Structure 1
Amino acid sequence: MSQEAPVFGRLGVAIVTPFTEDLEKVDHEALAGLARHLVDEGHDLIVANGTTGESPTTSDEEKLAILATVREAVGADVTLLAGAGTNDTRHSVELARAIEEGGNADGLLLATPYYSKPTQRGLIAHTLEIVNAVDLPAMLYDIPGRSGIPIEYESAVELSQHPNIVALKEAKGDMHEASKLIRDTGLDIYSGEDALNLPWLAIGAVGTVSVTSHLTGRLDRLMFDALEQRDLALAQRLHASRIDFVDAIMNQGPGTMAIKEALTHLGVLPHAGCRAPLGTVEPEVAARIHAAVDAYQSVLAQHTS
């Protein structure tokens, strides 16, 4: 784990977007409360309008309003990144410019263009067109399981030369390639795989951007502290203590649905609904999530009491 302060912070969360019960509007009161809760749990980085935030089903107007609400809720001391990557380069540029003009985001999250599966040259051109259109730092997001294409090593090295591209969220699972990027570039690497946060940090990632840290933030912060104090045994125990909860959330279908159900069970959110095509979890799945949340609360108490 890097000892240098990363540009965007260390403990990041891909925040969900709460909706009203009829799913017609963003529930800004619930969103503000959630954002404050996440900061209280130890996060210094919030990523809004990513896939976890249901970016495919929110309008650009809603996305900008979400950023304004989160910024007002958390103040200036927490880094706020805004998802701006789409599979339409022109739309991504327009959205990035609107985000910059809104003045609420500290940077952009740029997922690779999904479904279209451009070549690596096309991917590079797409990314550069976005970052050249604004004066905001950017975190690339390598998640081929969703986008259909990876950011190959050579492409990441080339993109890292741009002054606005400062970080990479890695959800590809290739730690060998990431180790080379840590060695060969100045990119801050973030774990985008909740189950592997400790291994990622061990090879030199600077932080995490997580779904499950909506609930595990305090334990994750303790794990970060243990690593910085070179107490690997404690970090390993903390990592092990969250495995069952991570499995329960990330292996029950889309993580967005599961984490909303978990937050609703805890009373952090009033409703668990996601916009179509996601919907809500099935009753039997909800029961498993509730059991996992209750078990995790006992684990948390053991480490924080």
Structure 2
Amino acid sequence: MSDNPFGRVITAMVTPMHDDGSIDFDGLQRLAVHLADNGHDGLLVNGTTGESATTTDDEDYDSVAAVVEAVGDRVKVMAGCGTNDTEHSMRAAREMVARGADSLLVVTPYYNKPTQHGIVEHFRMIAEAADRPVMAYDIPGRTGTALATDTIRQLATIPQVRAVKDAKCDLFEASRLMAETDLLWFSGDDVLNLAFLALGATGVVSVVGHVAGNDYRAMVDAVDAGDLARAREIHARLIPAVDAIMHTSQGAIQVKAALKMQGIIGSDRLRMPLLQGPAEHREKLRTGLAAAGLLG
């Protein structure tokens, strides 16, 4: 794994906000330090969980700079720059690299529903514009378009495209592509972290990692050591937390509430159309975190 520019335990960071909805950059830096202190060797800024759909370009660039300033000498910092506008994504990629990003996350273009050939060219143009390692993000549940198997094979021929964040969750196709290409593979769904790692994935890009970074580090290390019993033990213990965060409403909503519950961020404010959850969601979260040993 020495030629891995992303890290192995990566969390898609939330973007802490003040109660008025403005970004809490001090809180963002404190969160980055907390994650770096707890199991992480990579951080993703401006991903889906960071509410990138409702943050501005300038906020995104400033967020990258803030995280790099806080922890850039300790962990790899990846910046989400993908949109459904190729030119916009290219400009964002260049600026995020200028602000210190080590690598870039590029999501499949959403809403437009481009052809697979168009998707390949979209990735190629962004990758060449910034000339930094790129992780392709395959999440058809949000984008409406999956990366076809042959498309991923073509992406593997682009020198800067080094990895896939897999939230399509087709384990057989993932294993086929891991065997056929030299792409680094990352679980993009906390529910399947252990399954992906057991099949040979490099690491995880997590939401639950906000509160379970040391556990996911231990899981990665256990799989590396061939200790699947230990890895399964960690997986089983985390099930209540994963369920409470990922299956109650929406990951960003629940994990912000979890971080506030733990005193790591000051507010669980989100930007519309995301809303803080009702009391029963917070109670399920508290119960799940406690059952997983992640409270107190």
TM-score higher than 0.5 here?
A: yes
1:205, 1:294 → 2: CA distance?
29
Separation (CA, whole Å) in 2 of partners of 1:149 and 1:30 = 34
Work out which of the residue numbers 39, 43, 46 in structure 1 matches 2:40: 43
Alignment check: 8 A CA contact 2:5 2:103 kept: no
Q: State the distance in 1 between where 2:49 and 2:107 align.
A: 12
Corresponding residue of 2:257: 261
Mapping of residues 144-155 of structure 1, within 5 Å: 144-155=140-151
Q: Is the CA contact 2:36–2:74 (under 8 Å) kept in the aligned structure 1?
A: no
Partners of 1:223 and 1:97 lie apart in 2 by 35
1:9 to 7, 10, 20: 7
- How many Å apart are 1:297 and its aligned residue? 2.6
What does residue 195 of structure 1 align with?
A: 191
Name the residue aligned to 1:27. Answer: 24
Deviation (angstroms), 1:4: 5.6
Counterparts of 2:256 and 2:144, CA distance in 1? 26
Give the residue type in structure 2 aligned to 1:281. G
- Counterparts of 1:79-90 in structure 2 under 5 Å? 79-90=76-87
Match of residue 88 from structure 2: 91
- Contact 2:243 2:288 (C-alpha < 8 Å) held by counterparts: no
Q: Does 1:100 align with 2:105?
A: no
Q: In structure 2, give the amino acid aligned to 1:47.
A: L
In 2, Cα distance between equivalents of 1:96 and 1:216: 29
Deviations 1:179-200 (A, max 9, x none): 1111111100000010111110
Equivalences for 1:138-149 in 2 at 5 Å?
138-149=134-145
Cα distance in 2 between the residues matched to 1:285 and 1:94: 39
* Among 245, 249, 259, the residue aligned to 1:249: 245
Question: Which residue in the other structure is 1:236 paired with?
Answer: 232
1: CA distance between counterparts of 2:129 and 2:169? 31
- 1:19 maps to a residue whose letter is M
Aligned to 1:120: 116
The farther-off stretch of 91-100 and 146-155 is: 91-100
Identical aligned residues as a percent = 44
Q: Deviations for 1:81-139, whole angstroms, at most 9, x for unmatched residues?
A: 0001101111111111111222x100100000111111101111111111121211100
Q: CA deviation at 1:5?
A: 5.2
Quote how far apart the aligned CAs of 1:146 are: 0.5
Matching residue of 1:270: 266
1:75 Cα deviation from its structure 2 partner: 3.0
Aligned positions, number: 296
For structure 2, the 5+ residue unaligned runs are none
| Amino acid in structure 1 at the alignment position of 2:111 | Y
The alpha-carbon deviation at position 277 of structure 1 amounts to 0.5
